[in-house]
């Protein structure tokens, strides 16, 4: 097999050096470029073609929270692009002893070609991006999860052939995953309906700003409390855990408050006839999603998880110099 040639593959240089701290960093066209490349990289991987797009590059993975998909898809993706991954729990860095984010970003920029960060506070990712001279990729914060949103959009487009006009119902906690899904929907023309109980609704500032994006793309963003109204006619039913990392103390209350938002066979039956179920994982089976839906023939959850690999490789292929 010949080596994958980035010029022949037509990977554009327009995103070189750019960070991906949130979905809104990238224009609709840039997001679609990433999705197109992810599709292409998926095909090339199935052909077992060598993709030496990051030869000699080392990408840092700084994590303050556990991870299965983000960490493993990152390490595997970097290796598959011919680069080297360096996983570093944040507690092992001098950051944990008070070295500033700015100094850490400046120094790591001299060693690494990109950094993916999973942390609590979005401002930490933003501060890294402000001071680093290499791309900073958000691997999840308390308020956003942009790589997940790219994989979600890739999965929806694979199934329906388009994103424009696809009605997506997100049920449950209006959290980080919901925010990023809402933003990518707003930028790519999907009709997103988010249903959450009072107290768990998505951030109204994010909703208002996504509605501005939606006006330009033909998307629509609706927020409501009624889960039954939300699923009617939806082609995608999406949920996430009710207790995110860092919220463990609220678990019992959340289980009670969010119970009506569980995705089960009844809600799937009330959606469009060709509706699919998505979940970013990890799932708490029997809480936000029932086993029959998660493991049923309408679930695209495992494709969605696989697509984390392809979108991450696309983001690095586009941004790393
Ligand atoms: N969906 C997702 O980000 O999973 P991990 O927490 O396992 O990385
Ligand atoms: N909302 C979840 C997503 C996990 C991938 C969390 O932040 O824990």
Provide, rounded to the nearest whole percent, the portion of the chain with pLDDT above 90. 96
Q: Could you tell me if the CB of 280 is within 6 A of ligand 2?
A: yes
pLDDT of residue 10: 75
Rounded to an integer, the average pLDDT of 43-51 is: 95
User: How far apart are the CA of 95 and the centre of ligand 1, in A?
Assistant: 23
Rounded to an integer, the average pLDDT of 254-267 is: 98
- As a whole number of angstroms, the longest Cα–Cα distance in the chain is 56
Which member of 118, 187, 279, 310 is catalytic? 118
315 burial type by CB count under 10 A (0-12 exposed, 13-18 middle, 19+ buried): buried
> Can you tell me which atom of ligand 2 is nearest the CA of 70?
5
Mutational pocket test of ligand 1: of 61, 63, 70, 304, the residue with most ligand atoms within 8 Å of the beta carbon: 70
Secondary structure of the chain in the HEC alphabet? CCCCCHHHHCCCCCCCCCCECCHHHCCHHHHHHHHHHHHHHHHHHHCCCCCCCCCCCEEEEEECCCCCHHHHHHHHHHHHCCCEEEEEEHHHCHHHHCCCHHHHHHHHHHHCCEEEEECCCHHHHHHHHHHCCCCEEECCCCCCCHHHHHHHHHHHHHHHCCCCCCEEEEECCCCHHHHHHHHHHHHHCCEEEEECCCCCCCCHHHHHHHHHHHHHHCCEEEEECCHHHHHCCCCEEEECCCCCCCCHHHHHHHHHHHHHHCECHHHHHHCCCCCEEEECCCCCECCCECHHHHCCCCECHHHHHHHHHHHHHHHHHHHCC
Pairing between strand 58-63 and 114-118?
Answer: parallel
Rounded to an integer, the average pLDDT of 71-88 is: 98
pLDDT, mean over the chain: 96
How many Å apart are CA 187 and CA 164, to the nearest integer?
Answer: 10
Which member of 152, 213, 262, 280 is catalytic? 280
pLDDT of residue 5: 54
Give yes or no for residue 140 having a pLDDT over 70.
Answer: yes
Which member of 64, 71, 145, 157 is catalytic? 145
Give yes or no for residue 52 having a pLDDT over 80.
Answer: yes
**Cβ 139 vs Cβ 133: under 8 Å:** no
Phi and psi at 86, nearest 5°, equal -125, 100
Per-residue exposure over 125-134, b if at least 16 CB sit within 10 Å of its own CB, e if not: bbbbbebbeb
Mutational pocket test of ligand 2: of 72, 120, 149, 280, the residue with most ligand atoms within 8 Å of the beta carbon: 280
Categorize the per-residue pLDDT at 48 as very low, low, confident or very high, splitting at 50, 70 and 90: very high
**Cβ 276 vs Cβ 237: under 8 Å:** yes
Q: Could you tell me if the CB of 175 is within 6 A of ligand 2?
A: yes
Give yes or no for residue 2 having a pLDDT over 70.
Answer: no
Provide, rounded to the nearest whole percent, the portion of the chain with pLDDT above 70. 97
Residue located nearest, by CA, to atom 2 of ligand 2? 244
Which member of 57, 64, 69, 148 is catalytic? 148
> Can you tell me which atom of ligand 2 is nearest the CA of 67?
5
Give yes or no for residue 6 having a pLDDT over 80.
Answer: no
246 burial type by CB count under 10 A (0-12 exposed, 13-18 middle, 19+ buried): exposed
Give yes or no for residue 164 having a pLDDT over 90.
Answer: yes
How many Å apart are CA 170 and CA 226, to the nearest integer?
Answer: 11
Q: Give which of 299, 294, 226 is closest to 261, Cα–Cα.
A: 226
Q: Is 13 a catalytic residue?
A: no
Give yes or no for residue 263 having a pLDDT over 80.
Answer: yes
pLDDT of residue 1: 39
Digit-coded pLDDT (tens) for 97-136: 999 999 999 999 999 999 999 999 999 999 999 999 999 9
User: What's the pTM?
Assistant: 0.97
Comparing 1-10, 66-75, 187-196, 283-292, the range with the smallest average pLDDT is 1-10
How many Å apart are CA 63 and CA 120, to the nearest integer?
Answer: 10
């Amino acid at each position: 097999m010949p080596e994958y040639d980035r010029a022949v593959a037509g990977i554009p240089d327009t995103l070189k050096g750019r960070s991906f701290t949130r979905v809104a960093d990238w224009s609709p066209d840039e997001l679609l470029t990433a999705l197109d490349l992810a599709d292409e990289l998926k095909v090339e991987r199935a052909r077992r073609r060598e993709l030496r797009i990051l030869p000699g590059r080392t990408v840092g993975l700084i994590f303050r929270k556990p991870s299965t998909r983000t960490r493993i898809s990152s390490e595997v993706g970097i290796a598959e692009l011919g680069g080297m991954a360096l996983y570093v729990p944040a507690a092992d860095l001098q950051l944990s002893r008070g070295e500033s984010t700015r100094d850490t970003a400046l120094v790591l920029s001299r060693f690494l070609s990109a950094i993916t960060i999973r942390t609590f506070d979005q401002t930490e990712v933003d501060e890294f991006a402000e001071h680093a001279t290499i791309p900073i990729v958000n691997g999840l914060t308390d308020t956003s999860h942009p790589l997940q949103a790219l994989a979600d959009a890739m999965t929806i487009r694979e199934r329906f052939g388009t994103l424009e006009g696809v009605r997506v119902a997100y049920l449950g906690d209006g959290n980080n995953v919901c925010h990023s899904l809402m933003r990518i929907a707003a930028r790519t023309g999907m009709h997103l309906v988010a249903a959450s109980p009072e107290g768990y609704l998505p951030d109204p500032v994010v909703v208002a700003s996504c509605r501005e994006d939606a006006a330009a793309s033909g998307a629509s963003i609706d927020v409501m409390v009624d889960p039954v109204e939300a699923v009617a006619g939806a082609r995608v039913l999406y949920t996430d855990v009710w207790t995110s990392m860092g919220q463990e103390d609220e678990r019992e209350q959340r289980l009670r408050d969010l119970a009506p938002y569980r995705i089960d066979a009844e809600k799937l039956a009330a959606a469009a006839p060709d509706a699919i179920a998505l979940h970013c994982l990890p799932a708490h089976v029997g809480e936000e999603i029932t086993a029959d839906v998660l493991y049923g023939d309408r679930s695209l959850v495992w494709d969605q998880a696989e697509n984390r690999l392809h979108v991450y490789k696309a983001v690095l292929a586009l941004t790393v110099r």
